[in-house]
Amino acid sequence: MNGVYLPPSMNNKRILLDQTHINLTIKRLCFQLIENHNDFSESVLIGLQPRGIYLAERIQAELSRILTDQEIHLGSLDTTFFRDDFRRRDSPLIPNKTKIDFIIEEKKVILIDDVLYTGRTIRSGLDAMLAYGRPQLVELLVLIDRRYSRHLPIEPNYVGETVDSVASERVEAIWQETDGKDQVILKSQENG
């Protein structure tokens, strides 16, 4: 897939994906998941807190809509206590809720997050996940992959959109539940 071309913008905020585009992308990701997993009785979805859970919920809803006869398991995982930047930030890391009502032992786990950037959150997610068992296989699904910005050797298996951006920019997915609409935006840091 080609990266989205980002022309220099006068604004400090640009919409990368709107509602329609996000819906289409989620549908496509779901079909890719079905292609690879087929039967979801041995596969589980785990959304990473705080912002990966909204995408995970949409994926679960869409999968359930397509595969009406299958139950799609979804959990949410908080990675706060496993992060590598504890005591290296200005403010303490505040944890979110972890809710995993199933055992992931020998299951195929699909980790879900909104934006993949340095890969550090995913690294801590992988560690945090191990408290719930030893999965057979772990895959990574992200809505946005910020290419060429990885600090760790982590690559996604399913990508909604690939974005090339510079470090001073920020890619943010906002969701109906927290911000009133689904959108992916690119912010440049220059003036706020």
User: Which residues of this chain interact with another protein, rule CB under 8 A?
Assistant: 78, 80-82, 86-98, 127-128, 130-133
CB of 97 vs another protein, minimal distance in Å: 7
Instruction: Indicate the angle between helix axes 19-37 and 52-66, nearest 10 degrees.
Output: 60
CB of 82 vs another protein, minimal distance in Å: 6
Is residue 133 a contact partner of residue 104, using CB atoms and an 8 Å limit?
yes
CB of 119 vs another protein, minimal distance in Å: 18
Of 105 and 155, the one with the shorter C-beta distance to another protein is: 105
Of 26 and 128, the one with the shorter C-beta distance to another protein is: 128
Of 35 and 90, the one with the shorter C-beta distance to another protein is: 90
Copy the structure tokens of residue 61. Answer: 């809803």
Of 93 and 166, the one with the shorter C-beta distance to another protein is: 93
d(CA 90, CA 111): 28
Residue 173: which of 117, 91, 97 has the closest Cα?
A: 117
